Amino acid sequence: MSGFLLKAPYPAIKTTTLLPAPRWDDSKALAAAVIVNRAMDGTLYTNVKTRNGRKKLFWEFEISRNKALELREFITAYNSSLIQAIDHDGDSWIGYLMNNPFEFAGAGRAGPNWPGNETMVIQLEFEEK
């Protein structure tokens, strides 16, 4: 699959939006945090907050202006809902969009095959449930 699907609300899907594959700088990481504390005597203590192995994913898309308007409506309607994301590798993720705020940046003029005649860039941050 070369596209990217967002479906919401999960599991009773009402809306699906199809996006192109994300740019090359997409990433997957554990949603863990290292907490460093120093005692009064100077001793260092570290704790790792694992969040049960949940993953945090980052995707950046370059899309047409019309697709950006569609994605903005999807985000507005389902921002706090459980969402299923099926990525360009065919992996299915269930979780929440974590961006705050969602920023659409103008990337420039587009060719004649792009609806809206300009491209937009948005980065989505997703945390697995």
What is the structure's pLDDT at 110? 67
Q: What's the farthest any 2 CA atoms get from each other in the chain?
A: 67
What does the block give as tokens for 65? Answer: 């202006």
Which amino acid is located at 94 in the chain? I
Other beta carbons within 10 Å of 63: 21
How does residue 82 score in pLDDT terms, banded at 50, 70 and 90? Answer: very high
What is the structure's pLDDT at 57? 85
Dump pLDDT digits (tens) for 92-116: 889 998 888 888 887 777 666 666 6
Kindly tell me if the per-residue pLDDT of 73 is higher than 80. yes
Looking at domain 4-128, which of 2.20.70, 1.20.58, 2.120.10, 2.40.30 is its CATH number?
2.40.30
The structure's pTM equals: 0.71
Task: Specify which residues 128 forms β-bridges with.
Answer: 95
Residue entry with tokens 């697709």: 67
Dump pLDDT digits (tens) for 8-57: 998 888 999 988 888 765 555 554 567 788 888 888 888 766 655 667 88
What is the structure's pLDDT at 111? 67
What is the structure's pLDDT at 7? 93
